[in-house]
Amino acid sequence: RAKKLGGNQYSFYDPALQHIIDERLQIEREIISAIKENQFSAYFQPQLDRNGHIIGAEALIRWKHPEKGLISPFHFIPVAEQSGLIHQLQHIVLRDACQLFKRLGSRYINDKQFTLAINVSACQFRTELHQSLLKTLVSFGLSPANFKLEITESMLMNDRENNISQMEQLKLEGFQFSIDDFGTGYSSLSYLHSFPVDELKIDRSFIDNMDDSKGGTAIVDTIIALANNLGFTVIAEGVENQKQVDTLNARNIRGMQGFFLSHPLPADDFIHWVNRYTSEVL
Ligand code: C2E
Ligand code: MG
Ligand code: MG
Ligand code: MG
């Protein structure tokens, strides 16, 4: 119930809503102290092409809580976005990605086909994103061409003009773009060609559906055809079995990622994985 306070101000008291607000504030305080305690880091999930070559990795943030264990990004990214803390988390992920590049060495840094993908939130497009990204890259002596920025369809559709101009600026600097979770965001297909995008990532729900229906594969084929016609490359995400690998390898895509190939790994494990993989498998 609203109580009139005077002027146009109303005060609402709703215990359920209050609970949500308290919980959000609590998570916000925990994120702040977790940043100070270095509990956040990036994990890396490898991406492979049809020949089994490593073509990159996606950086995924992880919160290692001393009592609660690993906390999923789904629980803290929305709070981080609303509170502005996302900028600090983004910096951690980019820093870890740059450090990983340094450890992988010039063979990967100079490989134009190898990119690290960074997830970017909508709210970051309302800031001087290119400046904060470039500052970190320059401090590591790395180039934007080594990175792909992942954005979602729904994020593109809101505030379209601003997003396109931000993307164009970032592309001028040399960054590439992928549309993440493609097919789930109800984007209008008529706008798709107007975004300066390089790659579509087929959402894992579509990869999942290939297993149980003929129609499922038809949808994946249609997405691949759409991407190819627009000049975008394609990555399949959420690959969980050999049958999916085989189906996808028979198609014109750049590569794939998923638990079947590797789970996201901490930087040390990722480097071990790469070394072992390149010496044993390739
Ligand atoms: P996303 O960008 O679509 O990332 C893919 C998610 O699928 C990751 O979940 C990954 O661990 C998971 N995944 C990978 N392979 C498989 C598979 O074979 N099967 C299944 N079932 N899942 C698979 P994660 O790491 O929990 O991240 C969830 C979401 O949180 C991400 O979805 C992304 O939207 C967001 N996120 C993660 N890191 C960041 C970040 O640094 N910044 C921002 N803004 N968002 C992030
Ligand atoms: Mg992603
Ligand atoms: Mg995705
Ligand atoms: Mg997602």
Residue-wise DSSP of 174-196: T-EEEEEEETSS---HHHHTTS-
Query: Does residue 46's CB lie within 6 angstroms of at least one atom of ligand 1?
Result: no
Ligand 4 mean position to 4 CA, how many Å? 42
Ligand 3 mean position to 119 CA, how many Å? 9
Q: Which of 60, 98, 129, 261 has most ligand 1 atoms within 8 Å of CB, for mutation?
A: 60
**Phi/psi of residue 194, each to 5°?**
-85, -10
Compute the average pLDDT of residues 9-15: 71
Buried b / exposed e over 37-57, threshold 16 CB at 10 Å, is: eebbbbbbbbbbbeeeebbbb
DSSP secondary structure code for residue 144 in this structure = G
SS3 of 241, please? coil
Query: Which pLDDT does position 192 carry in this prediction?
Result: 86
Query: Does residue 253's CB lie within 6 angstroms of at least one atom of ligand 1?
Result: no
Predicted-complex ipTM score: 0.97
Q: Render pLDDT for 69-100 as a digit per residue (tens, 0 to 9).
A: 999 999 999 999 999 999 999 999 999 999 99
**pLDDT top residue among 262 and 132:** 262
Query: Does residue 96's CB lie within 6 angstroms of at least one atom of ligand 1?
Result: no
Query: Does residue 183's CB lie within 6 angstroms of at least one atom of ligand 1?
Result: no
Joined tokens for residue 8 = 């146009």
Joined tokens for residue 88 = 């600090």
Per the CB < 8 A criterion, the answer to whether 197 and 178 are in contact is yes
Ligand 1 mean position to 60 CA, how many Å? 6
pTM over 0.90: yes
Q: Render pLDDT for 167-185 as a digit per residue (tens, 0 to 9).
A: 999 999 999 999 999 988 7
226-229: list long-range contacts, CB under 8 Å, 24+ apart.
226/189, 226/192, 226/200, 227/199, 227/200, 228/252
Query: Does residue 258's CB lie within 6 angstroms of at least one atom of ligand 1?
Result: yes
Q: Which of 71, 119, 125, 127 has most ligand 1 atoms within 8 Å of CB, for mutation?
A: 119
